Structure 1
Amino acid sequence: MKVLIVAFHSRSMTPYSELYENVIKDNNDSYNIIFWDRFSNNKLEQKGNEFIIHKVCSLGGSKLKKIIPMFYFRKTVNKIIKNGNYDRIIILNTLPAVLLSNVLISNYRGKYILDIRDYTYEKYKFYKKRVDNLVKNSFITTVSSFGFFRFLENNKKIYLNHNISNWDVFGFSDNELSKKPKIKIGFVGVVRYMKENMNLIRQMKNNGKYEFVYIGKTYPECNLEKTCKNENIENVTFKGEFNNKDKPEIYKDIDIINALYGNESLEVQTALPNKLYDAIVFKKPMIVSKGTYLSELVEKYKIGIAVDFKENFYEVIEKYINEFNSHEFDKNANILLYKVLCDQKNIKEKVKYFIKHGEKNE
């Protein structure tokens, strides 16, 4: 059995590909995986079983400028599919699936898995109709958040597939936060959501007790670092891109996870970021925005604080730290972690069955 996995970003930005890769390896099947380096131009690269497409396509900014890179991606992947003679395809996210929808539905009906990670262009009727059709013709479709049912049609083929990685690292929270002389609030991932983060930083500007750290590649239109320099904010540090395997060391130096994305768009209202799983694996409380599906889970399982932007962040965070109980936090985090791992076990069985039987869905 030969499988193709199609990602839409680099490996560092696609940690959830590992679940599929591990199942395929365990099944002793062969596979190729396509990644997209969207920060450089070069010819198609092949390293072992990896194809790497090099074509500049900004993560934000003008949508018109993305049209040519998107069609280049589509043309290149179609060529790889044609030459590779694959039995199964796993496609990571809706946009590449829509770009490749003709070949998926015509040649791989019931023989592909669609993995949906976020809200994209579903507000457009033609796009949403195509996504619904892709779900209908998939073997199964996995979603990283049940919040996505706000824009997806409910379908019995849809299963939950979490963004969890480093799941084998079982940590315990540090000593009581109230006893720490300094608190480090860390944002680990692609750095964006400038308005929300500047609101937090400005409220706690140069506060000697709090330090903010941002680790990861920065969105082109996010001028967070430059703004902090211009406003002489000294308790903020910026670090570059990281490797997913470095997370255990990164989180050893962080006390609270920053997952402030606001709640203005359907994307942030519905998604569950990697940071949720980092919180329950590495045992670090979160600070999140109210009015999101993420905040519902954080409050339900009592693994952090949900804040409104009208609130005084300093007072809310201080209150949480003073009342923090590490034993209770660990217990609550492990309840959610156990549920997540059960969900992942179910998905692994589905993927294993898919590789063996293809369109014969159970």
Structure 2
Amino acid sequence: MKTHIFRSLPLKADSRTTRNQQIFSNGKSQTYTWEKSGGKTDSTISFPYSKSGGKLQKGIKFFLFSIWVPIQVLKHAKKSDKVVFMDLETAALGLLAAKIKRTESIFDIVDPFAQTKIKSKTIQKLLDKIEIYIARHFDKVIIPHQSRIKYYSDRGISTNRIPKMHIIENVPLLQDGNHPKKPNREIITIGYFGTLDNESRGIEWLIEFCKRMNGKYNLLIAGGGAMQNKIQELSHSNTNIEFLGPYSALQIPELYSKIDFTWAYYTPKIELHKYAAPNKFYEHIFFKTPIITSSCIPQNKEIESLGSGIKVNAEDFSASEMEKLDRLISEIQSKKNEIHNRLEIHWKENYEIYYETIKRSEVCA
């Protein structure tokens, strides 16, 4: 038996793809992605065209990619195999091919297609309905958090008719051996590791905060995206801002060993953020690193009960809001040993054998 996993993003862009390889694979798996440069790599079969181009070019490539997916299923999958689709654009036509080959079909709705690809509210509602309609015809459906059921119900769409819906959270595949110790630092370091998007992750606010605090904090940023060149320039002109560029999942333990707080802000202006399932939430528990986030994410109650985080409003650039964060960081630092112990216990009780339990569950049966 072989597992075939389809994702419309580059392999390194989403660690959930790699996790699915390990969850559903019985030793043999093949990943099919859309790499930025196109073409086959050592670890994945990629759609042969790059993601670059104008609006028309991208539209044509997107259409061709949607056709390429079922061709790969028909070409490579066998009756006893599993096929996992991680986006609507892979699932829409891929499901038909999986039915023809009589494989087990799994739809992992990592993010609602409408919220990540479409701006029109009217078209979003239509695509949400199409997504759930297609999901009803899969053997199994996976979501990363309970809040995603609420996402559809808030739009008047019932998921009750989906035969088998399972929750597999974005718990990182980490072990204690991946846990470098943090040295005691004279200057507190805040880290942001992720996509460098404009005006959605609060990166602009975080940079301004570190500038205004006059060397009281260091900022470590790693990732790629729209702000990459700007942050590279800032790192050259500000001694307390360090930019490491793009990183891989294997580097995450080392990155967390360099920081005292992890930045995981989600702007409430983006609707999907109210239903977010951030990797950083689980990472902050495993690496025993306090988290700075926003009040809109669904994990806030858990963070509050652990006393392991700070909520900020990164839409507000006032001095009072930045002074508030400075004060709260000092409070967290004064309790860091007890927070460390709570996070260690919480990880062991809830996530240490998470995937062993998943592999024994119905979703992997």
The C-alpha deviation readout for 1:192-214, integer Å capped at 9, x for no partner, is 24462212321331621111121
> In 1, Cα distance between the equivalents of 2:2 and 2:20?
13
Residue equivalent to 1:128? 128
> In 2, Cα distance between the equivalents of 1:336 and 1:116?
27
Extract unaligned runs of 5+ from structure 1. Answer: 355-362
TM-score, with normalisation over the residues of structure 1? 0.81
Residue equivalent to 1:188? 193
Q: 2:203 corresponds to which letter in structure 1?
A: N
SS at match of 2:83: strand
- The partner residue of 1:68 within 57, 60, 72 is 60
Q: How does 1:5-154 map to 2 (within 5 A)?
A: 5-25=5-25, 27-28=26-27, 30-38=28-36, 40-41=37-38, 44-45=39-40, 47=42, 50-57=44-51, 66-86=58-78, 87-98=81-92, 100-104=94-98, 106-107=99-100, 111-121=104-114, 124-152=124-152, 153-154=158-159
Q: Quote the offset at 1:323 in angstroms.
A: 4.0
Contact 1:110–1:138 at 8 Å: present in 2 too? Answer: no
Q: How does 1:166-177 map to 2 (within 5 A)?
A: 166-169=173-176, 171=179, 174=182
72 and 221 in structure 1: CA distance in 2 versus 1, 3 angstrom threshold: farther
Residue equivalent to 2:165? 158
Residue equivalent to 1:316? 325
Residue equivalent to 2:283? 278
Q: 2:221 corresponds to which letter in structure 1?
A: Y
Residue equivalent to 1:242? 247
Q: 1:150 corresponds to which letter in structure 2?
A: K
37 and 274 in structure 1: CA distance in 2 versus 1, 3 angstrom threshold: same
Contact 2:113–2:127 at 8 Å: present in 1 too? Answer: no
SS at match of 1:121: helix
Q: Quote the offset at 1:253 in angstroms.
A: 0.6
> In 2, Cα distance between the equivalents of 1:157 and 1:259?
31
Extract unaligned runs of 5+ from structure 2. Answer: 116-120, 153-157
Q: Identity percentage over the alignment?
A: 21
327 and 63 in structure 1: CA distance in 2 versus 1, 3 angstrom threshold: farther
- The partner residue of 2:344 within 334, 337, 340 is 334
> In 1, Cα distance between the equivalents of 2:144 and 2:310?
22
Q: 1:317 corresponds to which letter in structure 2?
A: D
> In 2, Cα distance between the equivalents of 1:216 and 1:147?
27
Q: 1:126 corresponds to which letter in structure 2?
A: L
Aligned pair count reads 340
> In 2, Cα distance between the equivalents of 1:96 and 1:12?
18
Contact 1:120–1:267 at 8 Å: present in 2 too? Answer: no
Contact 2:142–2:166 at 8 Å: present in 1 too? Answer: yes
> In 2, Cα distance between the equivalents of 1:88 and 1:323?
46
SS at match of 2:296: coil
55 and 314 in structure 1: CA distance in 2 versus 1, 3 angstrom threshold: farther
Q: Does 1:220 align with 2:226?
A: yes
Residue equivalent to 1:211? 218
56 and 307 in structure 1: CA distance in 2 versus 1, 3 angstrom threshold: same
Q: 1:162 corresponds to which letter in structure 2?
A: E
Higher relative contact order (CA 8 A, sep 6+): 1
Q: Quote the offset at 1:241 in angstroms.
A: 1.3
Q: Quote the offset at 1:117 in angstroms.
A: 1.9
Contact 2:84–2:105 at 8 Å: present in 1 too? Answer: yes
- The partner residue of 2:208 within 187, 202, 213 is 202
> In 1, Cα distance between the equivalents of 2:140 and 2:352?
19
Q: Quote the offset at 1:312 in angstroms.
A: 1.4
Larger deviation, residues 254-263 vs 166-175: 166-175
> In 2, Cα distance between the equivalents of 1:291 and 1:184?
24
The C-alpha deviation readout for 1:283-335, integer Å capped at 9, x for no partner, is 11110011221434322332211112345123323333334323321233235
Contact 1:89–1:111 at 8 Å: present in 2 too? Answer: yes
Residue equivalent to 2:295? 290
> In 1, Cα distance between the equivalents of 2:222 and 2:272?
22
Q: Quote the offset at 1:343 in angstroms.
A: 4.7
TM-score, with normalisation over the residues of structure 2? 0.80
Q: Quote the offset at 1:47 in angstroms.
A: 3.8
> In 2, Cα distance between the equivalents of 1:99 and 1:75?
7
Q: 2:326 corresponds to which letter in structure 1?
A: I
